[in-house]
Amino acid sequence: MKRAVFRLQPVLELRRTEERAAAAAAAQAANTAADADRRATDYETALAGASLPRMLPARDFVLAMTLLRTAATDASDARSLATAQAEQAELVRAQWTAAAQRTKGMEKLRERHQVALQHAEDAAEERAVDDLVTGRAGRAKTTGTDVAEGVSWTE
């Protein structure tokens, strides 16, 4: 007997491919977010370690203050970028979760299909066995022997 195929198998394969692509994108986004956080932390650490000497000429003081302000702006920008990257990574991870749920739904349909096929095969086998048993009983009545005991009725 030819076994029926799952007609949605191409859709299931597409969903699995989409899930793998979403997983790769989520991993990439997580790595990007981690790198941005690391850079922001480095900027913040460097800024925290910066200090002005006690005595500076006015020109050097203005230059040092400008440099510290630029460093603070860079650290702030890096932190903002890290936050945005983390939010983006969360969105990409949510897309991966949605793709995994779609794939899981198709896999459940495939499992139900396989269960239904197995049930149909079991029912067909049971009918075949029933036909064999009822066929023997019908043949036994015509020959005059009891199927269960194997003895003739005329004895």
pLDDT the model gives residue 2: 62
Instruction: Name the residue with tokens 């986004």.
Output: 29
- 98: Cβ contacts below 8 Å, ≥ 6 apart: 22
pLDDT the model gives residue 119: 94
Q: For 51-77, give one letter per residue: b (16+ CB within 10 A) or e.
A: eeeeeeeeeeeeeeeeeeeeeeebbee
* pLDDT (tens digit per residue) in 16-30: 999 999 999 999 999
The CB-side HSE value for 10 (13 A sphere, CA atoms) comes to 1
CA 39/CA 89 separation, integer angstroms: 16
Instruction: Name the band, by pLDDT with cuts 50, 70 and 90, for residue 132.
Output: confident
CA 134/CA 128 separation, integer angstroms: 10
* Lowest mean pLDDT, pick from 29-38, 83-92, 125-134: 125-134
CA 103/CA 95 separation, integer angstroms: 12
Burial of 99 per CB tally in 10 Å (0-12, 13-18, 19+): buried
* pLDDT (tens digit per residue) in 6-16: 888 899 999 99
Chain centre distance of CA 103: 7
**Hey, which bits of 44-155 come out as E strands?**
none
Instruction: Name the band, by pLDDT with cuts 50, 70 and 90, for residue 131.
Output: confident
